[in-house]
Structure 1
Amino acid sequence: MTRWLITGANGMLGTALRAVLAGQEPVALGRAELDVTDAASIERAISAHRPDVVLNAAAYTAVDAAESEHAAAYAGNAEGPAALAAACAAAGARLVHVSTDYVFAGDATAPYEPGDPTGPRTVYGASKLAGEQAVLAASPRHHVVRTAWLYGGGGANFVSTMARLAREGRDPQVVDDQRGSPTWAGDLAAALVELGGADVPGGVLHFANGGETTWFGLARAVFSEVGADPDRVGPCGTDQFPRPAPRPAYSVLGDAAWRRAGLTPPRPWRVALTAAFVAERDALLGR
């Protein structure tokens, strides 16, 4: 039986991973038990639990704050994963590390594939790219899985925010000039577990729910899911919501490499959104 260890187990993705692996008794560690920014904490956890596969859901995700918190961003997204990857390699464990579309420039017109040139435009993206490189350098068995526009019932995110606004009777203006592939944490968690148990060579893969939309399109879909009139959502441009960290105009990730690896293809984002509200409606609605 595979011995699984989940880092960042109390976050949105970590919560979804715990649910997927509930019948396999994974070791699920939050920051109090395993702080990925502390090499000694990593060594203790790997030594104590001797996992076969480590699923790294721990990360620094404050995209805007990272612009002024360089050290914290690199500690959580680069130095921590480097230490974790090295400890896993030394113990003979395989690491499945989660990364992001922000490693790309965001100016493409066709879905990004794993081998496409990177070019992060934010501190967050640069820190995640550094983490990817460190993980891959530590062992040829390790995996990096990039995803995008992640949402779920285990934490604050765009979908839960839109569901709350719909419930409160508010009519938001939402950006309509950024495109991506909304991805349910439940589907990503199942995909990571499948990869962790599969005989697939290490390297970079992409997993995001299929198809693409804008934040405006996603917001309208969320309103529909909660029984609200989607016409209450209005479109606007990125320039109306300036942020410290520039957002990618195009974040769609291609799944060709994932499919070639023989792994289960991701389902369309709209189908996954409906499934998410069936599975965790109360959590997404903040109840």
Structure 2
Amino acid sequence: MSDVKRILVTGGNGQLGTELKRYAWPEGWAVTAIDIDELDLRNTAAIATMVAESHDGQPWAAVISAGAYTAVDKAESDIVTAWAVNAMAPAAFAESCAKAGIPIVQVSTDYVFDGARDGAWEVTDPVAPLGVYGASKLGGELAVRTSGARHAIVRTAWVVSAHGNNFIKTMLRVGATNPTLRVVDDQHGSPTSATDLAAALATITMRLVEDPAAPTGTYHFSNVGAVTWAGFAREIFAQSAARGGASAEVQGITTAEYPTPAMRPANSLLSHDAITRDYGIHPPAWQTALGNILDELLGASNKETRA
């Protein structure tokens, strides 16, 4: 086992962390995924110690910084914690990675943009976060970018999966008992399968480890295709009904009709030009990704029902 390249993954119990653990890593690669019970991301000294320490006598090959404070609305009143987890923790990881001479892959968000443009956001577009969550994630980006560590910053949006809490699972749960749902219809974006995102991060990480000349910088990843939250909900129920699952009518409403403490970008579409150019990654359509998630969710549900 001494020749195994081991990747340290934070946020191990989250949607992305779960998929990084489930990913079919090639022979010679492995992940150690940790969560808050093993490392408090507010403790920068503990972060430095963990990166510096070897795993079973072997140094880490890379870090995938996927752990984050993602409670967007709560962040508006929990500013210090959001900044500690989303900015200072990546700063500590990146500084430690630079000292260890290993790459870091930092997961970021569409919330670094204000949403006030048409078309997909390019990686070079000006950032202007609307709230604490986006600002703190941007702080993490800046820390990684200026750390001296070889890095890839990967922004994503609207992450969903068969695990944890997300929009798909919420719609299926609420739709099972409510014939009509009101869903925001003026925010545009592309859903992102955590499975597909994990595969993209694995591709980038392994390349960074194996190739000292691998491209570095900022990238975007989501599934392909634009939709609103209401449009996404309609497709969820259409595909769910086709699989014998929940179905409901979706009525579109405006953002103003569903006020939240934190402002959301009206446009979260992300351009994939950079990640395709540098890493040959071509994300699949979000409808395909949704079908794969529903196959897993409804398959598991049907098995429980039959049991």
Q: TM-score, normalised by structure 2?
A: 0.88
Contact kept in structure 1, 2:42 and 2:84, CA below 8 Å: yes
Which residue does the alignment assign to 2:38? 33
How far apart, in 2, do the equivalents of 1:102 and 1:181 lie? 13
Aligned pair partner of 1:211 in 221, 225, 243: 225
Q: Identity rate of aligned residues, in percent?
A: 43
Which residue does the alignment assign to 2:20? 17
Which residue does the alignment assign to 2:272? 255
Aligned pair partner of 1:2 in 5, 15, 18: 5
Shift of residue 238, structure 1, vs aligned partner: 0.7
Q: Equivalent residue of 1:115, what SS? A: coil
Shift of residue 280, structure 1, vs aligned partner: 4.2
* RMSD over aligned Cα atoms: 1.9
How far apart, in 2, do the equivalents of 1:281 and 1:54 lie? 33
Which residue does the alignment assign to 1:131? 140
Does the alignment pair 1:238 with 2:255? yes
Stretches of structure 2 that go unaligned for 5 or more consecutive residues are: none
> Which letter maps to 2:12?
A
Q: TM-score, normalised by structure 1?
A: 0.94
Shift of residue 163, structure 1, vs aligned partner: 1.3
> Which letter maps to 2:224?
G
Distance change in 2, residues 1:263/1:34 (3 Å): farther
> Which letter maps to 2:106?
H
Shift of residue 130, structure 1, vs aligned partner: 0.7
Of 174-183 and 135-144, deviating more is 135-144
Q: Equivalent residue of 1:138, what SS? A: coil
How far apart, in 2, do the equivalents of 1:284 and 1:189 lie? 24
Contact kept in structure 2, 1:108 and 1:250, CA below 8 Å: yes
Shift of residue 42, structure 1, vs aligned partner: 1.1
Contact kept in structure 1, 2:230 and 2:251, CA below 8 Å: yes
Of 99-108 and 197-206, deviating more is 197-206
Aligned residues: 286
Shift of residue 92, structure 1, vs aligned partner: 1.5
Which residue does the alignment assign to 1:267? 284
Shift of residue 29, structure 1, vs aligned partner: 1.1
Shift of residue 22, structure 1, vs aligned partner: 6.0
Shift of residue 216, structure 1, vs aligned partner: 0.3
1:148-187 matches, within 5 Å, as 148-187=157-196
CA deviation vs aligned residue, 1:124-180 (integer Å, no higher than 9, x gap): 101010100001111251110000011112211111101112223442100110000
How far apart, in 2, do the equivalents of 1:103 and 1:253 lie? 12
Shift of residue 281, structure 1, vs aligned partner: 3.7
Distance change in 2, residues 1:37/1:263 (3 Å): farther
Q: Equivalent residue of 1:239, what SS? A: helix
CA deviation vs aligned residue, 1:82-119 (integer Å, no higher than 9, x gap): 00111111111211010000000111101001101001
- Greater Rg, structure 1 or structure 2? 2
